[in-house]
Amino acid sequence: MARRFACLIAASAMAMTMLTGCATLPEDPEERAEAEALNDPLEPTNRALFQFNMYLDENLMEPVAEGYRDTFPDWFREAIHNFLVNLQEPYVAGNDLLQGNPRAAADALGRFMINSTFGMLGFRDAVAESGGPKPHKTDIGTTFGVWGFDEGPYLMLPFFGPSNMRDGAGRVADTFASPTGSVMASQGLGVFNTVQTGVDILDTRTQYLDPIKELRRTSLDEYAAIRSLYRQTREAAIAASRRGQQAHATAPAAEAAKPGPASATPEPSAGDGAGTDPNVRPSAVEFVQPKP
């Protein structure tokens, strides 16, 4: 149900964009160049949706996330986070393959196999604790970007936050793309997917409690800061995938949400010759098939 709702929201936003996408650009050359650089032809509508999202966040999500953080100890919240990350590993591996990164896909699948067993169903990150690769994130929107699809105009989705046409299409595809979600649904356990979505939203919002407060405190224009940060983060994710991800460590929430430029230089991958560096951590595959 939650996945279908996300699909409906994304599809509706893209339909609205197509209906209003003929917004007239300024005639002044400088203003026109600035408008094209911002890539936000629906800015008035987007800002209104942003205010709606912020109202819901400040009056619902933020208090719930603060209560969750204050009530449950760190070890419990970390275990829940690890479990949620582990459920996404097959989905990440599938996108890695579609992006032409088999090494990253092998790492993600290796992490899933090991953490699902030795990591107590993923509540412990046994691979990372043993010196193996840390989790990395990717999605269908990033896959579309690697394939060369243009991002399209910037969008602010109600309930779901910043996006664009390309990532909105990725959200629609996500509805059908999660391997673990499909397995659960096929076994009549669709309620598990709904609960997982809700807990994942709570977990993510809890990680971003302090960074978002800092962004609100330091930003003169919070909407513009989030728009810039989102676009930089997505561009960096696509650049990392094109270079070939070596299951690079997921940036801490505090770093990912800082209103500064995202790094455009990802960690070196095995395909870039990192395999000969003695400081490079072993692949998760090496934990599944130890070297003689």
Which residues are within 8 A (CB) of 249 and not within 5 positions of it... i.e. 6 or more apart? 133, 134, 135, 136, 267
SS3 helix, strand, coil % of the chain, rounded to 5? 65, 5, 30
Q: Determine which helix (DSSP H) or strand (DSSP E) holds 28, and give its type and residue range.
A: none
Residue-wise pLDDT for 197-208, tens only, equals: 899 999 999 999
Do the bridges between strand 161-164 and strand 154-157 make them parallel or antiparallel, or are there none, so unpaired? antiparallel
Q: Determine which helix (DSSP H) or strand (DSSP E) holds 25, and give its type and residue range.
A: none
14 pLDDT above the threshold of 90: no
Residue-wise pLDDT for 89-132, tens only, equals: 999 999 999 999 999 999 999 999 999 999 999 999 999 999 99
**Across 30-34, 80-84, 162-166, least confident range:** 30-34
Q: How far is CA 263 from CA 236, 255, 258, in A?
A: 6, 11, 12
Report pLDDT for 27: 57
Q: Give the other-Cβ count within 10 Å of 116's Cβ.
A: 16
Q: How far is CA 148 from CA 85, 200, 272, in A?
A: 27, 29, 21
Report pLDDT for 233: 95
Q: Give the other-Cβ count within 10 Å of 248's Cβ.
A: 19
Confidence of residue 33 (pLDDT cuts 50, 70, 90): confident
Q: Give the other-Cβ count within 10 Å of 107's Cβ.
A: 33
**Alpha helices for 62-178 (secondary structure H):** 62-71, 74-98, 102-117, 126-129, 140-146, 165-177
Report pLDDT for 279: 47
Mean of pLDDT over the chain = 80
Domains of the chain, residue spans = 2-16+42-288
60 pLDDT above the threshold of 50: yes
Q: Give the other-Cβ count within 10 Å of 181's Cβ.
A: 23
65 pLDDT above the threshold of 60: yes
